[in-house]
Amino acid sequence: MSRLAIDIGGTHLRYELIGETEVCGNMSSRDSELAHFIGTMIEKYSDIDAVAISFAGQVHDGTILSAPNIETEIVDIQAHFESKYGIRVRIENDLNCAALAESVYWGEENLVALYSGTGLGSGIIEKGEIVYGSRGLAGEIGHIPYREAPFACGCGKHNCIELYASGSGIEKWMAHLDCKEPVDLDRLFRSGSESCRSIAEKYIDALLYAAATLVTLCNPKIVVLGGGVIRHNPFVLESLNARLGDFALHAAMEDLRLEASHIENASLEGAKLLLDTM
């Protein structure tokens, strides 16, 4: 039998088929509607008996609650494919999947993954299990209230921390302040324009606030930082290491480690881990 792991975000759909035939792929998520992709794979590889999906949106009990950047025709993915093909299906938020993979990688059962890419999100692992909340929304750190911004977040509010500590936030500020630098945190820091530099400074302050909130609220042993913005700017981790103690509860800082993610695609790795539990 074969098992299929999928990671779908706003830009990419990545997958790995594990079994007699081993196939992996990476395509634009805009050209591959999720349900259509799953249906095509099941028909092509008829021995697939389990599918695990890491999904960049809000998910609860096998159903997609919202997905601002992903086209989905079917929201009750789990029930739909289980009844249509008689296979096992599990769909999880991508940051929960990433946190699960980080937990296994670092061998740590109390861990938070804080990822800053297009958006800002976190996944919380407590005693080796994902922390969900009542509707699967725990860990939505990107949408905690922070400061009023002159534009809206994807969720509709104007004061989300994601508007400051994410790639999309940086782009919104650059457009608002008419900053002509390349969209790159390091270049913004080195800009001759004070308003461009202020975007980078706002980014670091907001990320510190998010990390300190998670440390104080969840008391993890390790905070793993990942996502495109952090991966391309290793100095972000140094800034956080130097200043987190000024923001977070001191007692929660004891024995705390900040680490940069070493996993190439943690969400897909997390989806593969889910397959092992199905």
The CA radius of gyration of the chain, in Å to the nearest whole number, is 19
Does the protein bind Zn ion through residue 172 (CB under 5 A)?
no
> Which residue, 59 or 153, is less far from Zn ion as judged by CB?
153
What DSSP designation does 48 have?
A: E
> Which residue, 4 or 138, is less far from Zn ion as judged by CB?
138
> Which residue, 117 or 270, is less far from Zn ion as judged by CB?
117
| Smallest gap from residue 93 Cβ to Zn ion (A) | 15
What DSSP designation does 257 have?
A: E
Amino acid at 154: G
| Residue closest to 19 by CA, chosen among 30, 40, 4, 6 | 4
| Smallest gap from residue 192 Cβ to Zn ion (A) | 32
| Residue closest to 191 by CA, chosen among 179, 176, 203 | 179
Stretch that binds Zn ion, among 40-48, 138-146, 188-196, 256-264 (CB under 5 A): 138-146
| Smallest gap from residue 239 Cβ to Zn ion (A) | 24
By CB under 5 A, the count of residues binding Zn ion is 5
Check if the beta carbon of residue 199 is closer than 8 Å to that of residue 173: yes
The residue whose two tokens read 């922070």 is 146
Helix (H, G, I), strand (E, B) or coil at 119: coil
> Which residue, 147 or 157, is less far from Zn ion as judged by CB?
157
Letters for 144-163 (x = contact with Zn ion by CB under 5 A, - = none) are ---------x-x-x--x---
Instruction: Using CB under 5 A, list all residues that contact Zn ion.
Output: 143, 153, 155, 157, 160
